[in-house]
């Protein structure tokens, strides 16, 4: 009897530029329910880090409380991690980001953690443009406390026991665009082909990148009357287009009809190329994008894909003019320059 993943792997498993396999980016075996969408997102994060040749020790995983916030234990077990108080992950991320800009900050949160208890923190992290990837594993339910409605649950949806949801949902993606997030995407844990390029894009983006990922809760919110079930999302999913991640130095090989493709430049020189399904959609224009999202919502569709991107905005540490060297690498003399310098400063002030 075991549910421990055996150590051996396929001898022909692909290796990345660092000589690592996907397995090297794994974490502990998940203790989430079998079939949980969160596990699929973890696997997509693993795949993205593998593809981007990311060194695990240059990543910090941050989370709050909830099923989603347990997930960082199940990937990148060589990375830094901080499991914060419920809803307080954005503050920890903000502080860490100011202290050390060299790490990739990967916040993993859920609909409860971000849309209820932590919504204030969520809003301000966006407002301040913390340079991080903020993943919301959105299942519309409080899985860890036996399936109550969360704030992202749709009005027409019922819970597992047949009760109606009486309140309108908060749309975190729309909210993020309004608040000034510079990379906003929605995706579905069951569609890795779409999800992985979006995560890779978010990781290479400078500024606040929000990924609202619908992630079915197999135990409490995967029933026939749910609007966040595998079946419902597969039926109502409408992608804004096909996104491809184009690594630095590679050409975009596919040629698209004029007006149907958009390129988004990323911080390290790589690109996201989007082949749009609708000419009216423009992910570079926040206003148009919000309108398009509203239209699709009215049609009863779940719009997924890259919804908004702006690669020119300033992030928090630029705004604050923070030191480029991480604080933990600064010499004592620089951090505490002594009473003579203090006197000079004081003189300036007087």
Q: Is 10 in the site for other proteins (CB under 8 A)?
A: yes
Q: Is 307 in the site for other proteins (CB under 8 A)?
A: no
Q: Is 141 in the site for other proteins (CB under 8 A)?
A: no
Q: Is 28 in the site for other proteins (CB under 8 A)?
A: no
Tokens encoding 275: 């082949």
Query: Shortest distance, CB of residue 249 to other proteins, whole angstroms?
Result: 25
Report how many residues bind other proteins under the rule CB under 8 A.
34
Query: Shortest distance, CB of residue 272 to other proteins, whole angstroms?
Result: 23
Query: Shortest distance, CB of residue 218 to other proteins, whole angstroms?
Result: 5
The single residue among 156, 163, 164, 231 that binds other proteins, judged by CB under 8 A, is 231
Contact mark string toward other proteins, 170..209, x via CB under 8 A = -------------------xx-x-----------------
Stretch that binds other proteins, among 40-48, 98-106, 251-259, 285-293 (CB under 8 A): 40-48
Stretch that binds other proteins, among 3-11, 61-69, 88-96, 336-344 (CB under 8 A): 3-11
The single residue among 15, 127, 234, 267 that binds other proteins, judged by CB under 8 A, is 234
Q: Is 222 in the site for other proteins (CB under 8 A)?
A: yes
Rounded Cα distance between 36 and 189, Å, is 9
Stretch that binds other proteins, among 35-43, 57-65, 159-167, 289-297 (CB under 8 A): 35-43
The single residue among 40, 63, 221, 227 that binds other proteins, judged by CB under 8 A, is 40
Contact residues: other proteins, CB under 8 A: 1-14, 22, 29, 33-37, 39-40, 42-43, 189-190, 192, 216, 218, 222, 230-231, 234
């Amino acid at each position: 009897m075991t549910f421990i993943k055996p150590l051996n792997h396929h001898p022909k498993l692909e290796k990345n530029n660092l000589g690592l396999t996907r397995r090297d980016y794994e974490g502990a075996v998940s203790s989430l329910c079998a079939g949980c969408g969160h596990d699929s997102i973890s696997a997509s994060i693993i795949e993205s880090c593998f593809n981007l040749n990311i060194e695990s020790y240059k990543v910090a995983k941050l989370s709050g409380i909830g099923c989603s916030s347990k997930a960082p234990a199940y990937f990148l077990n060589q990375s830094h991690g901080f499991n914060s108080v419920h809803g307080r992950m954005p503050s920890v991320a903000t502080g860490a980001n100011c202290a050390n800009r060299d790490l990739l900050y990967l916040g993993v949160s859920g609909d409860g953690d971000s849309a209820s208890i932590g919504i204030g923190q969520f809003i301000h992290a966006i407002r301040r443009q913390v340079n991080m990837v903020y993943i919301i594993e959105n299942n519309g339910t409080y899985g860890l406390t036996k399936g109550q409605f969360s704030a992202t649950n749709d009005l027409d949806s019922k819970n597992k026991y047949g009760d109606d949801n009486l309140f309108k949902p908060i749309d975190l993606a729309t909210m993020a665009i309004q608040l000034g997030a510079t990379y906003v995407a929605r995706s579905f844990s069951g569609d890795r082909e779409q999800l992985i390029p979006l995560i890779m894009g978010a990781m290479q983006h400078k500024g606040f990148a929000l990924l609202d990922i619908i992630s079915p809760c197999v135990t409490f919110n995967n029933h026939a009357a749910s609007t966040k079930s595998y079946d419902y999302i597969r039926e109502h999913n409408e992608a804004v287009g096909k996104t491809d991640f184009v690594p630095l130095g590679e050409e975009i090989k596919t040629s698209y009809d004029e007006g149907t493709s958009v390129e988004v430049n990323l911080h390290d020189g790589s690109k996201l190329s989007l082949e749009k399904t609708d000419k009216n959609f423009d992910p570079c224009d926040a206003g148009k994008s919000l309108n398009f999202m509203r239209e699709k919502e009215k049609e009863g569709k779940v719009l997924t894909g890259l919804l908004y991107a702006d690669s020119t905005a300033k992030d928090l540490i630029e705004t604050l003019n923070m030191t480029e060297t991480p604080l933990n690498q600064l010499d004592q003399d620089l951090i505490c320059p002594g009473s003579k310098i203090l006197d000079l400063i004081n003189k300036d002030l007087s």
